[in-house]
Amino acid sequence: MAVLTMREALNQAMVEEMDRDANIFLMGEEVGLYNGAYKVSKGMLDRFGPKRVWDAPISECGFAGLGIGAAMVGLRPIIEFMTWNFGIQAFDQIFNHAAKMYYMSGGQFNVPIVFRGPNGAAHMLGAQHSQAYEPMLTNVPGVKVVTCATPYDAKGLLKSAIRDNNPVLFLESEMMYGFKGEVPEGEYLIPLGVGDIKRVGTDVTLIAWNKVLHRVLEAAEELGKQGIQVEVLDPRTLLPLDEDLIFGSVRKTHRLVIVEEAWGFGSVGAQIADRVQAECFDELDAPVVRVTNEFVPMPYNEAQEHHVMPQVDRIVQAVKDVLYI
């Protein structure tokens, strides 16, 4: 298989889908002439022209609303936010219009639109540019929330998101656009709502997504050297959640650690912990443990930023805590 970066895999997904369906277009800040702030849309303006690759003004609320209207009349927009930190300007459009339109119209209007861009902290960008928004985004009925941690997943999930008839919020990572992985040459789709086992184990289940998944895999490798076999799950879709995959793993390992790059209060990890204790209570041999960002605005200072976010040592200690060692 070819080895692609994350940005190349995302680019391939959009290009293949736009070749397949003339109703798909891309809109966002700097997606055209500049080839994308992170070069995810490189070459797409030359390939598809300015009617299908639109450079938008610095008005997330404005071009998100334009995209929703276009989706309601039969087009299939892909809206790129330079970062989901800027996407909060469009939350009114996403939450009050895209998410609710199908329900409030009695099924008369589908809104087949993808909002995509990097989520979470990058590196030393400060508190206003370093937030993980999945707790907010998954708290709204009417949308699907998808996240990717490998180029293979990124391409397959984005193609499925573009074909979905519902609004899909697609969470990437600035730190992972250069991350490389194998991607098949031919057509493939990854269904939304289906998680993946990234590492098989028997002693503890670890759940993580987006870039923090790779810290979890590092921790699992270190724990493996100590004789502790960790099973690592990536939900991939956060809404709807693949609960059957999670419950099945917990019933096998009897222990669960959830790691996420978000504040812990009211988070996706809290929801997973609630569902596990409700459905797998008699299977648990230890309380569910969660590893999250410290509950503070993200510092700019590099050492402090490192301290706030989940790191390998904290994950390793959490696993040992649920094993009582």
Catalytically active residues, by annotation: 60, 129
Query: Is the Cβ–Cβ distance between 79 and 113 less than 8 Å?
Result: yes
62-92: b (≥16 Cβ within 10 Å) or e: ebbbbbbebbbeebbbbbbbbbbbebbebbe
User: Taking a C-beta distance cutoff of 8 angstroms, is the pair 115, 147 a contact?
Assistant: no
Q: Can you give the three-state secondary structure of 295-316, one letter per residue?
A: CCCCCCCHHHHHHHCCCHHHHH
- What are the two backbone dihedrals, phi and then psi, of residue 86, each rounded to the nearest 5 degrees? -85, -25
Amino acid identity of residue 214, one-letter, is H
Measured CA to CA, the distance from residue 296 to residue 121 in angstroms comes to: 13
> Distance (Å, rounded) from C-alpha 139 to C-alpha 132?
14
